């Protein structure tokens, strides 16, 4: 957040404002060095691509065919964490670039585990080995999934409704 919460302690407020000042200084310095137009020609596409990738990663980690949705008394925190959020199996370089975001199922169960420990945690805990990986190819198919089929307990597309 670029503006500190009113309830923030003075040290936290100072940290936010110093970070804002550093960002403003960096933007001003780079813009003076290469020009505003050049800066914006670099910054806008970078922010756009970063936003698209971020939205995609968040989407596929919660919207995939065999996800888990439940409510009321039948909802289970472990099942929701393990089956309701994906193990997005990415190439090693993408795991590194995203801070191991592909191990999202572990994050939902234990959000305090540092990102650099997630791969080892996935390998060492038997429960995590049972999670079906979501590959990039399979994740592309999730774009067509819009509806929850309560009887089959899975996400389906509009075409499946028409066929039924």
The 10s digit of each residue's pLDDT in 4-51 is 888 999 999 999 999 999 999 999 999 999 999 999 999 999 999 999
- Does residue 74 sit in the same domain as residue 126? yes
> pTM of the predicted model, to two decimals?
0.77
Bridge-based pairing state of the strands 147-149 and 154-156: antiparallel
Longest CA–CA span in the chain (Å) reads: 62
Instruction: Name residue 27's beta-bridge partners.
Output: none
Beta strands in the chain (DSSP E): 87-88, 133-134, 147-149, 154-156
Sign of CA dihedral 29, 54, 8, 107: negative
Tens of pLDDT, residues 41-81? 999 999 999 999 999 999 999 998 888 988 888 889 999 99
Q: What is the pLDDT of residues 95-149, one digit of tens each?
A: 999 999 999 999 999 999 999 999 999 999 999 988 989 999 999 999 999 999 8
Contact 142, 60 (CB under 8 A): yes
Number of domains in the chain: 2
Same domain, 107 and 127: yes
Q: Which domain holds residue 30?
A: 10-49
Same domain for 93 and 148, yes or no, is yes
Residue 89 and residue 41 in one domain: no
Percent of the chain residues topping a pLDDT of 70: 99
Above 70 in pLDDT, residue 164?
no
What are the residues facing 103 on neighbouring strands? 87
Say how far apart CA 148 and CA 88 lie, in whole Å.
21
């Amino acid at each position: 957040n670029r503006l500190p919460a009113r309830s923030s302690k003075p040290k936290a407020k100072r940290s936010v404002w110093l970070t804002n000042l550093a960002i403003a200084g960096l933007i001003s310095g780079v813009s003076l060095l290469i020009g505003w137009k050049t800066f914006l020609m670099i910054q806008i596409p970078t922010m756009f691509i970063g936003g698209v990738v971020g939205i995609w990663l968040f989407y596929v980690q919660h919207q995939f065919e065999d996800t888990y949705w439940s409510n009321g008394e039948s909802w289970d925190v472990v099942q929701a964490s393990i089956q309701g959020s994906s193990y997005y199996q990415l190439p090693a370089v993408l795991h590194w670039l995203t801070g191991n975001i592909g191990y999202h199922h572990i994050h939902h169960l234990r959000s305090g585990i540092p990102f650099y420990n997630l791969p080892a945690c996935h390998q060492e805990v038997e429960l995590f080995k049972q999670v079906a990986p979501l590959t990039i190819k399979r994740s592309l198919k999730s774009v067509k999934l819009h509806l929850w089929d309560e009887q089959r307990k899975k996400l389906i597309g509009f075409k499946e409704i028409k066929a039924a």
